[in-house]
Amino acid sequence: MVSGAKPVIGHLTEFHRSPEELFRRGRAEHGDMFTFALPGGHKAVALLGPERSRLFFAETDRALSVRPAYPFIARMFAPDFFFVAPFDEYRRQRQIILPRFQGRQLDGYVTAMDAEAVALIEQLGDAGEFTVTDHFAPLAARIAARCFLGRDLAAAIDQDFFAEFRRFSGGIASFPRGDWPLPKFIRGKRARNRLRVILGDLIAERRKAPLDPPDFLQTIAEAHYPDGSPVPDLVLINLILLLIVGGHETTAGHMSWALLDLLGNPRELASATSESAEVLAGNGFCDFASVKPLRHLDLCLLETERLHPVANLLVREALAPLEVDGTTIPAGTVMFVSPAVSHRLADLWPEPDAFRPERFAGEEGKLARQMLIGFGGGTHRCIGLHFAHLEMKIVLARLLTHFDMELVDGPPQPVRGFRAKWPASPCRVRYRARVTSPV
């Protein structure tokens, strides 16, 4: 047991304030597996390092369950939706959208992503300052809406839609409990209900007037399960909501950190800028293949995932006793892995706090890439990972090529507390357009 537990509440205060600090102290005291105290005398188990992370993901949907660990999914979406559904139903729902994130399907998103990146550059103008999260969050939401709802529909949606979505997103939280009558949870549920009406109407309109060739929304509107039965509208609506939430929370945070990491490391910034300019000097971004040459930028995104995973904790609950390192973990135990801590273990990562993208390069970097868990792992690994990387590379390449940029504030720090680990404000960037830059 980690030291410092308080009567009744255990480690709750420290866990809520900074789970990473609690886990680092736990490892210093007990190694890569340890317990800490939750309120009411309950114990939780933390697992660190790649071997235990692999066990954590391998046992998910067997001895470990996602469902009890993420009650906010059931609360804000539905009790039988996606991660919290029984495993067979989860796989059925996942298969509805998985093909839209694979292979040549990604080609169809490139022009939409690039158009939004160019629009951001035009919005910023020739010089000034901007806060990365304030601009990247709505950008990610616009890209998601354009890719998943279609260009015309996304353009027709007014700012009230995105305001509703921010209210909905704000109501998704695992701490404090979402069934408490707090204002943000009430606002979140009301926004969810209004968004469901909007998306339900969009799906109904597509069924009346199908688009040929079909885009993402058309595919969703016509979706059937493998046995031929139609997918309920609520499942389809919730899938769209989930994808836009994921695009907003994870992608915006990761992209913000990536730009800040590059601006704090001049050598890597120069390499990424040179590479981006060379790629854009050709035919620009027109399909997945045109983005693929951004190899150094890809390595930089992996290093940002290592240093600043937006999902700093992943949670499961033991459904049955599970043996780990000779210790039996009882059924009902809540278990955590921490990408934020595991990604900086000094015995696994040379110079763990340094920004070194080359650690992921070539054959030697394969093992390092396999140790990353910022987007989850196993059958629950983020379904939109390749979509997110594609989006981030396009946006960053455009910005790096068009602007000279520098950090305004000191070294960026993550937000505190039990939430998505975006950079804390202020995280401003000063920029000036280059004389010759393709847009």
pLDDT in tens, 339-360: 999 999 999 999 999 999 999 9
State residue 169's pLDDT score.
Answer: 80
Give mean pLDDT, residues 21-40. Answer: 96
Residue 174 Cα to chain centre, angstroms: 16
- φ/ψ of residue 51, rounded to 5: -65, -45
Q: What is the pTM of this model?
A: 0.93
Q: For residue 165, name the pLDDT band (cuts at 50, 70, 90).
A: confident
Structure tokens at 62: 């067997």
Question: Which of 428, 145, 117, 436 lies closest to 259 in space, CA to CA?
Answer: 428
Q: Which residues, listed in sequence order, are joined to residue 316 by a DSSP beta bridge?
A: 335
Q: Is the pLDDT of residue 56 over 70?
A: yes
Q: Which residues, listed in sequence order, are joined to residue 318 by a DSSP beta bridge?
A: 64
pLDDT higher for 419 or 274? Answer: 274
Q: For residue 176, name the pLDDT band (cuts at 50, 70, 90).
A: very low
Q: Say how many Å lie between the first and final Cα of the chain, rounded.
A: 56
Q: Is the pLDDT of residue 160 over 60?
A: yes
Q: Which of 151-160, 164-173, 184-193, 196-205 has the lowest mean pLDDT?
A: 151-160
The alpha helices in 215-330, defined as continuous H runs, are: 216-221, 233-246, 252-263, 266-280, 288-291, 295-307
Q: Which residues contribute to the annotated binding site for heme? A: 382
| Residue-range domains of the chain with CATH | 48-433 (1.10.630.10)
Q: For residue 212, name the pLDDT band (cuts at 50, 70, 90).
A: confident
User: Which of 279-288, 307-316, 414-423 shows the highest mean pLDDT?
Assistant: 307-316
pLDDT higher for 164 or 401? Answer: 401
Peptide bond into 7 cis (omega under 30): no
Q: Which residues contribute to the annotated binding site? A: 382
Q: Is the pLDDT of residue 420 over 90?
A: no
Mean pLDDT of the chain: 91
Contacts of 254 (CB under 8 A, 6+ apart): 301, 304, 305, 308, 310, 374, 388, 392
Give mean pLDDT, residues 266-270. Answer: 98
Structure tokens at 135: 């601009």
pLDDT tens sequence across 95-140: 999 988 987 888 889 999 999 999 999 999 999 999 999 999 989 9
